[in-house]
Amino acid sequence: MNVRCTLEDEPMSNQDLPYEQYLDMLRQQMHSRATLFRKLVDEFGPGVLDIVQQQVIDETYALWQAADLPVRDLNAVFGTVWESTSAVEYTVEERTPECLRLRVTRCMYADEMRQAGAGDVGLAFYCAYDYGFCQGFNPHIRFTRTKTLMAGDDCCDHMYELLGGN
């Protein structure tokens, strides 16, 4: 089974659509989320996004924990998330059996959400996914990130470390 975590995993996915049409649909979804959640934050405060973020992490964790994957090491992380996505541009800074470090310099999600003035909404909906993914994919993988394009940094610095226990 070949599982990837890319644009096709979005809730509005339709594998039969031409890719550009699918990207347009995804952009519309992002702008809709930005508009709706900007209103909710204005009305109820930033705690709304804390709830969204935790829900994204929990759902993503459950999805990847239940996935039928024969291998759950850092090579599998790279192949699942990074190898075949066109949503981001990145460079691999380190890739060993124990460490995978990437520098993301362009992200379609960050571009769209920041353009909509909703980087905070994007952090809750899209960036939170990374934490749930790693926890569910392999509890022995520690994920850290100190910078995000979504927050206005010059890059996202993703680091995956495989701790003892594989």
| Residue found by looking up tokens 């599982």 in the block | 3
For residue 100, pLDDT beyond 50: yes
For residue 6, pLDDT beyond 80: no
Q: Which CATH number fits domain 16-162: 3.30.1380.20, 3.40.50.970, 1.10.3720.10, 3.40.50.720?
A: 3.30.1380.20
165 pLDDT band (50/70/90 cuts)? Answer: low
Instruction: Read off the pLDDT of each residue in 7-35 and give the average, rounded to a whole number.
Output: 74
Mean of per-residue pLDDT scores for the chain: 89
Token pair, residue 117, equals 């003035």
What does the DSSP assignment read for the chain?
A: -----SGGGSTT--TTS-HHHHHHHHHHHHHHHHHHHHHHHHHH-THHHHHHHHHHHHHHHHHHHHS--S--SHHHHIIIIITT-SSEEEEEEEE-SSEEEEEEEEEHHHHHHHHTT-HHHHIIIIITHHHHHHHHH-TTEEEEES--TTTT-S-EEEEEEE-TT-
Length of the chain in residues, anyone? 166
Q: What is the pLDDT of residues 24-47, one digit of tens each?
A: 899 999 999 999 999 999 999 999
Q: What is the pLDDT of residues 114-152, one digit of tens each?
A: 999 999 999 999 999 999 999 999 999 999 999 999 999
Higher pLDDT, 23 or 4: 23
Angle at 82 between CA 80 and CA 86, to 5 degrees: 120
Domain ranges of the chain: 16-162
Higher pLDDT, 10 or 19: 19
Higher pLDDT, 139 or 85: 139
Q: What is the pLDDT of residue 166?
A: 60
Rounded (10°) angle between helices 129-137 and 47-66:
30
